[in-house]
Structure 1
Amino acid sequence: MPKKPIAYIVDSTAHISHELANHPDLYVVPLNVHFGDNEYADGVGIRPEELYEKIRTSTELPKTSQPSAGRFAELFDRLKEEYEQGIAVVLSGEMSGTYASAVSGADLSGFDVRIVDGKSLSYGTTGLVRLAMELGQEGKKRDDIVDAISRHIGKGRSYIYIGQLNQLHKGGRMGSVQFYLGSMLQIKPIIQITPEGTLDVTDKVRSEKKAFRYLVDKVKKAYDEGRRTIHLMHADSPGEADRLKAQMLEAMPDLIVKTGDIGAVLAVHAGEGTMAVIWYDFD
């Protein structure tokens, strides 16, 4: 039986729609979520709603870790029996060791797979692999596909309103003084993913209302430049996401707003109530 041409691989921080989840050539490598001595594979060993409930009720913040090189190698070993080549798009190497694990896993396996650092997360990763799959369906060669999607890396925009400072604090990503002052003054940061794949605090707001206004203004600027589709990701906050979407549509009635959950691993660090607006130049 002839091998299929290209397998597509992402990690579990990518936003996977129902359509993509059912695609026969897309494979997801889960990150790990740790509660004490218990380890769960993201989206496999624990459902997102279970994780959110544990975060709300536990006094101990869960931790996350990248997939091991062995986990990638195990998948690549299976794929090389079915596919000629592969393309793996993973979250920013500046935020996680997932990229390094994928590269090591490819070396261990010997599968002909190109590992792409998407320099983003959530839909930022999804958009790149979706474009890769579309080009593959058109019959483009693997290396040409990688060259094409690489030209779009760093061209997207991602703005993230952090829902819970205590998640950043307990996770070691915010100092005690910053956490104390932020909590007292009800200040919450808005973070932008830079073209290099790092996180940068672009503004600080003192209410959800002001945060929503900031995000709407950013989308409106992109809209005025011709953008007509954006992706609104949330951390277990569909009601708040609906309110933000309504504000966007009030200002831009023909804007297409696609909503989804930001993902359990990312919610561990950013907290419930987090909102992210993401778009690419090819959307």
Structure 2
Amino acid sequence: MKQRIAWITDSTAYIPEDLREKYGIHIVPLDVIFDDGAYEDGVELTSEELYEKIEQSKTVPKTSQPAIGKFVQLYETLAKEYDCAIAVHLSSQLSGTYQTSKTAAAQTAFPVEVVDSQIVSYPITTLLCKGFELAEKGVDYREIAETLRREASRNENYIVIGKLSQLHKGGRLTNAQLILGTLLQIRPIFTIKNGVVELFEKVRTENKAFRRIFEQLDRARSLHRVVQVEILHGNVIDKALELKETIKSKYGDLEVLVYPLSPVLGVHGGQGTIALTWTNEETES
């Protein structure tokens, strides 16, 4: 008899509604904190509303992990209907959400395997989908969690920041850096490696940034099996769809998905940010 596994993640993951309904995924929201109060990510604040409020605010809002009580209450409720659970959260290096989820699980009698995705956004969903496949084959929930922990290291991602002004407003750029960067059209490319955000490279102009990322995609495809690319955007759907067409014309065999960044991620990336991400799978022998 298959285990009744509950699936949990947090609001930084983008979960399409059909997937959420099919597998009954439980999403615990983080908070976005403005001067006028805290808003639950994706529940009380949409991405569009976030950017409007940021434009009107003199400071960039803060973000906060869910309170431990939210997890404890969820796990106690799930224990009545499920045998066990797997919770996949954003990188433990970027938020305390993973540790809070673990601590909450230890406080209940409900068996929960908590997985550090080492990433954010749709790559978390990719891990969950891998978990669903294994669960349908009857694999034990602990083994599924171990597999997902190994799979997490296969993600490759590149993030092009949309507005340097938001980095400046958030205190991550000085006035001089903002002025120089704007004049020279500098586009920093970041990547998340081993759960930590790192500067990959600084290039001139957005087009050069994407050409540089395509070079990385070419390299990845020469070494691994890459079947899907995800484009994640900060409220710039037209730009994201244009980029999708460029990728499809260059790599006709790739599936390309386009999704928005959650409000919590929008706080740190800013409007106009575009991220490309994919999974480097083992080549078939």
Equivalent residues of 2:3, 2:138 under 8 A apart? no
Letter in 2 for 1:73: V
Q: Cα deviations across residues 200-246 of structure 1 (Å, max 9, x unaligned)?
A: 11111221111221222222333344423111111111111122112
Q: Which amino acid aligns with 2:203?
A: V
Match of residue 22 from structure 2: 23
CA contact (8 A) 2:58 2:169 kept: no
Contact kept? 2:154, 2:281, Cα under 8 Å: no
Worse-matched range after superposition: 185-194 or 27-36:
185-194
* SS in structure 2 of the partner of residue 109 of structure 1: coil
Aligned residue in 2 for 1:73: 72
Q: Provide the residue aligned with 2:44 in structure 1.
A: 45
Q: Deviations over 1:69-107 (max 9, x none)?
A: 111111111111111101101011111111121112212
The CA deviation at 1:25 is 2.8
Structure 2 partner of 1:218: 216
Residues 26-84 of structure 1 deviation map (CA, whole Å, 9 limit, x = unaligned): 10000001111311111111222222221233333221111111111111111111111
* Displacement of 1:123: 1.5
1:165–1:270: 8 Å Cα contact kept in structure 2?
no
Percent identity over the alignment?
Answer: 39
* TM-score for the superposition, normalised by structure 2: 0.91
User: Pairwise mapping of residues 1-283 of structure 1 onto structure 2 (< 5 A)?
Assistant: 5-194=4-193, 196-225=194-223, 226-282=225-281
Larger CA deviation: 121-130 vs 5-14? 121-130
- How far, CA to CA, are the matches of 2:196 and 2:189 in structure 1? 14
* RMSD of Structure 2 on Structure 1 (CA): 2.0
Q: 1:95 to 1:179 in 2, by over 3 A?
A: farther
User: Match of 1:244, SS?
Assistant: helix
Partner-residue secondary structure (3-state), 1:266: helix
CA shift at 1:176, angstroms?
A: 4.9
Within 1, Cα distance between the matches of 2:214 and 2:2? 47
CA deviations over 1:244-280 (Å, ceiling 9, x no partner): 1122122222321111112111111111111111111
CA contact (8 A) 1:232 1:258 kept: yes
Q: CA deviation at 1:173?
A: 3.7
* SS of residue paired to 1:152: helix
Aligned residues of 2:5 and 2:84 also touching (Cα < 8 A): yes
Paired letter, 2:50: L
Count of residues in correspondence between the two structures: 281
Are residues 21 and 174 of structure 1, via their aligned partners in 2, closer, same or farther at CA, if it must alter by over 3 Å? farther
Q: In structure 2, what residue type is equivalent to 1:15?
A: Y
CA contact (8 A) 1:3 1:84 kept: no
Mapped to 2, the partners of 1:31 and 1:116 lie a distance apart of 17
TM-score normalized by structure 1?
Answer: 0.92
Counterpart-to-counterpart distance in 1, 2:105 and 2:36: 29
Query: Contact 2:115–2:148 (CA<8 Å) still a contact in 1?
Result: no
Q: Distance in 2 between matches of 1:121 and 1:234?
A: 13
Contact 1:11 1:29 in 2 (8 A): yes
Residue type of the partner of 1:30? P
Q: Secondary structure at the match of 1:151?
A: helix
Contact 2:9–2:87 (CA under 8 A) maintained in structure 1: yes
